[in-house]
Amino acid sequence: MEKEPTISMAVSKRRRTLDALGGFTTSVGHENQFKGSISGTGHCIILGSVEGNCELGGTLVIGEGGLWRGNIVAENVVIAGEVMGDIISKNKMDVVSTAKVHGSLTCPYIAIAEGAVHEGQIHMAEVKRYTDKREST
């Protein structure tokens, strides 16, 4: 029997942005690849790799081990994996300690965990830097 994959530290620890989500309408699983644009109003989680752009009216989660190559526009964004492109979040952005971001971040409120790697510019109203004290499970 196959072991169920761990979604990500961000999801299992229920990051603040994820606390209100009822579930994901779209997902790209581990070891899966997707090329093309993603758009819509639901919530999306990426655990594999995506090459393309995103315009999402919900929350986008790039899980630990996930890779996104392209630009992202979403209501909320949680990054625990790697992104190579610019990210615009209309509401909140959470950059988890395992994240690697190569591109500009634009959002009214950004939380960046200690240990996260970011190469690029940040455009925001407020940045919070934090050390995650939640237990990993």
3-state secondary structure 66-112: CEEECCEEEEEEEECCEEECCEEEEEEEEECCCCEEECCEEEEEEEE
Q: Would 43 be classed as within a structural domain?
A: yes
The per-residue pLDDT of the chain, averaged, comes to 83
Q: Would 33 be classed as within a structural domain?
A: no
Q: Would 55 be classed as within a structural domain?
A: yes
Domain of residue 106 covers: 9-13+39-130
Res 134: pLDDT: 63
Query: How many Cα atoms sit within 13 Å of 98 on the Cβ side?
Result: 17
Q: Would 34 be classed as within a structural domain?
A: no
For a pLDDT cut of 70, what percent of the chain falls above it? 77
The model's pLDDT over 91-109, given as tens digits with 9 standing for 90+, comes to 999 999 999 999 999 999 9
Q: Would 78 be classed as within a structural domain?
A: yes
Q: Would 18 be classed as within a structural domain?
A: no
Q: Would 44 be classed as within a structural domain?
A: yes
Q: Would 4 be classed as within a structural domain?
A: no
pLDDT in tens, the chain (137 residues): 333 333 444 444 444 666 666 666 677 888 899 999 999 998 999 999 999 999 999 999 999 999 999 999 999 999 999 999 999 999 999 999 999 999 999 999 999 999 999 999 999 887 677 777 765 54
The total of structural domains in the chain comes to 1
Give how far Cα 57 sits from Cα of 9, 48, 60, Å: 23, 21, 9
